[in-house]
Structure 1
């Protein structure tokens, strides 16, 4: 029997969320990359869509504001109805997926502080 491999799940990073899924929203992930649960997202100001937050972006997505909870196969097209964590949550920092531009611990500290401003505490 071949071994089974489980992909990433919210259990890899999510420690606490508010009751009745208050911490979550349904969102659109912009086309451009396949993303896994735990991806740190920024919101593009012009479109309102979420993308992997890149520190050097200049479209609003440079500020981390959410964390992806569901798989988003967005390499070819936008993913609608993705579930994102946007408020009142506690996450495991080392379970998060950052864009390569958040290359040092100091920069990731900055990203986690921005998530904290959104009400997502990374420990």
Structure 2
């Protein structure tokens, strides 16, 4: 029997968010590997593009600032995406890259991990 695993759906990590579109923004994501919904993102200081959170980086991505809303394919150019950037409760089990420092940084933006 063949077993198929379903990837995470867009926004599956959300428990609640602000009314309307107040929680989400359109963002530019740096070129790179494919990313799944729930990926913690940091903002690259020099380019203004989002990239996966990296606690040991020194380019701005060491500060968690957003959570990727939907999947993005691998690309060698900047990609357009959506992110949850404020006023939401999110499921810890559905986040990628979460550590205690990221959890604290997200809380500053009222992104509360449950």
Q: Which residue of 2 aligns with 1:36?
A: 36
Render the CA deviation track for 1:55-90: whole Å, top value 9, x for unaligned: 11111110000000111114422112x010000000
Q: Which residue of 1 aligns with 2:59?
A: 59
Structure (1/2) with the larger helix percentage? 1
Q: Could you tell me which of 96, 116, 123 is aligned with 2:107?
A: 116
CA RMSD of aligned residues (A): 1.6
CA displacement at 1:91 relative to structure 2: 0.3
Distance 1:79 1:71 in 2: 11
- Corresponding pairs, count: 112
Q: Which residue of 1 aligns with 2:83?
A: 84
Q: Give TM-score scaled by structure 2 length.
A: 0.90
CA displacement at 1:3 relative to structure 2: 6.2
Structure 2, unpaired ranges of 5+:
none
Distance 2:60 2:91 in 1: 24
Q: Give TM-score scaled by structure 1 length.
A: 0.84
Structure 1, unpaired ranges of 5+:
103-107
